[in-house]
Structure 1
Amino acid sequence: MTKQKNEFIFSLIFFFFSSFFFLSIISSLFIDNFVDLLDIFLRPNNIFVQLSRILLFIAICILIYLIQSSIRKDSKKYIYMALFGIFIFLSLLIISFALPQDNLDGFLDVYDLDDNHLVINSIEELIIDSFVFIYFITIPLFIFFYKKNLFNNYFYKTYIKEIMPSLNVSIIFLFGYCIRVYDFDNFLSAIDFVLSLASIILFARIIFSLKSSITFYNIVNLFILIFGFILFILCSHLLEQFYLYYANLFFYTIGLLYWFFNILIEKA
Structure 2
Amino acid sequence: MTTASAPRMSPPSMMGASWAKERGPVTGDAVELVLPPAPIGSRILSGLLDVVCIYVWVVALLVLLLRIGEGWSSALAAAVGVGLVVFAFVVWPTGFETISGGRSPGKIALGLRSVRLDGGPIQFQHALARALFAFPEIHLFSGVPALTSAAMSSKHQRMGDRLAGTVVIQERIKWEIPQPPDMPPHLADWAAAADLGRIPEIWLHWSSEILTRQDMYPAARESALHDMVVGIAPWVMPPPPPASDEEIISAVLAERNRRAVRIEQKRADLRRRLVGEA
Provide the TM-score with structure 1 as the length reference.
Answer: 0.24
Higher relative contact order (CA 8 A, sep 6+): 1
**Structure of higher CA gyration radius:** 2
Provide the TM-score with structure 2 as the length reference.
Answer: 0.23
More helix, by proportion: 1
